[in-house]
């Protein structure tokens, strides 16, 4: 199992968390998504490492930006 943590900027409410969770959860290979509104941390679990560009695209599709790491 692979785990990656990203930081998302611009989330201000529970709807934001839901939108990011839903979009990232649709990335091929992702098996779990945990989003922290307070810290902006998005923890992605998967069977194999997932391309960070796909996660970034999903976050942007939800209307938010991913902090450059």
Q: Among 33, 32, 25, 29, which residue's Cα sits nearest to residue 58?
A: 25
The pTM of the whole model exceeds 0.75: yes
Extended strands (E) in the chain:
2-9, 30-35, 41-46, 65-66
- Residue 60: domain span: 2-66
Separation between Cα atoms, residue 56 and residue 8, nearest integer Å: 9
Q: How many domains are there within the chain?
A: 1
Strand pairing report for 2-9 and 41-46: antiparallel
**pLDDT (tens digit, 9 = 90+) per residue, 7-64?**
999 999 999 999 999 999 999 999 999 999 999 999 999 999 999 999 999 999 999 9
What pLDDT was estimated at residue 68? 78
The yes-or-no verdict on residue 69 having pLDDT over 70 is no
Give the CATH number for residue 43: 3.30.70.100
């Amino acid at each position: 199992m692979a785990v990656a943590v990203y930081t998302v900027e611009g989330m201000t409410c529970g709807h934001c968390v839901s939108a990011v969770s839903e979009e990232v959860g649709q990335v091929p290979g992702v098996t779990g998504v945990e989003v922290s509104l307070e810290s902006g941390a998005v923890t992605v679990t998967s069977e194999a490492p997932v391309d960070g560009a796909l996660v970034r695209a999903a976050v942007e599709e939800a209307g938010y930006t991913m902090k450059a790491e």
